[in-house]
Structure 1
Amino acid sequence: METISEEMRTRGNGVADTGTGPNASYGLGQCYGDLSLPDCVLCFSEARTVFPKCFPSNKARIYLDGCFMRADNYNFYDQYFGPEDRHVCGNRTTKGSLFQQNARRAIQQAVANAPSNNGYARAQASVPGSSTMTAYVLADCWKTLSANSCAACLQNASASMLGCLPWTEGRALYTGCFIRYSDTNFLNAISTSRGSSRGKVAVIVIVVVSSLVVLGVGAFIGIGVWKNKQIQKKRKGESFSAKN
């Protein structure tokens, strides 16, 4: 878990294994695609506090709304379905056919986009003038899966989760993926890290250019001073010759 935690701090996901035979331990941790790295570290820390409650069992799966963690005594990294796969429906309210149509549309969009988007997609569907009927969806596959395995996992998971309708919230907790829909916007704001990176690059470029300008001006002044000294020496020499 400590090895995985270090990887989560830098990229938001990680795997690690130790031991051999029946005493081997394999672990996987991953934050969902819309979670920032600082929040990812907090989420994984929370998952690690839950993990010891699974002892003395040699396996565990923890699904939080921001991250996932699994441990087992065999290499499960390429698995995307299993007997423990299931959906969980939110016990809140129900909505009519308009919300259900939006939910189905948003789920279909997220499931279609995730496999070709590094295993992550988010979607929302609504109709003008009916904001209360908007459906929000998040879909995530574990990074150890291929695009085909991701697609298969999300298709099975979404088909199962659709059984939650007309409830306004549902989750699918699958071996290789996680998917959630809700009438409440639970999606995190899209990160602007790329913009920040461009800003840093611009600052670096400006600093470098400014440094070159300063060096150029300094060299120009230095050459001017040197030439002035040479002229002064020459004039002194000519004046001395004239006196003689």
Structure 2
Amino acid sequence: MQIINTITPDYRSYLSKEEIAAIEHEAGIMETREAAGIEALKVVQKHRGWISDDSLYAIAQLLNMSAAELDGVATFYNLIYRQQVGRYVIHICNSISCHLTGYQQVLQAIKAHLGIDYGQTTADGLFTLLSNACLGGCDKAPVMMIGEQHYQYLTPEKAVEILEKIAAGAGTENYLPSFFSEDEGKRDGGRENKTRSRDYLDDDDVAGEISEMELSDD
């Protein structure tokens, strides 16, 4: 019988000082520490790009809650990523309003341009494509969100132009650094590589610079 040893990381050595401080701040303004779960997940995801199992265990330990309970929070909230994602996550709204205003054509143009389907990431690690039940822009459909930036009144051509401009402004060939790899994190004990900040990859400002003015028809 094979015995599998499971190692749960200690949050003090796994999480960075900045992450711990930010999580403690959120916990301090909540009625209970458990109530800070979603904000704690956001903090770590902002630094690391996604929430690995080790990250989940470390956050749960810091908040004095079970990993199962925190995982329930993480899997319920569709902007928390429990699998590795690309530098830019594209959320395509597939609500009835978007379906009625050309969602399918926009989606097919994005898939063809990137060469990926839902749940997949481009080979260079730049884009991940996901669906979203509603992005709150029914009067401006079709809509997609990249990072924190919403793009409205989409057409297939406009969607592709947005992606091209983001890719052109990304400014690096290595979009998915090796320290995002869970396997590499385990090799070094889950400390040094995975506690390095993702701030230099947090490029919502790049996406945000692509305004509707720049993309408007001449």
TM-score by shorter chain over 0.5: no
TM-score by length of 2: 0.28
**Structure number with bigger Rg:** 1
The structure showing larger relative contact order (alpha-carbon pairs under 8 Å, at least 6 residues apart) is: 2
Greater share of strand residues, 1 or 2? 1
- TM-score w.r.t. the length of structure 1 is 0.26
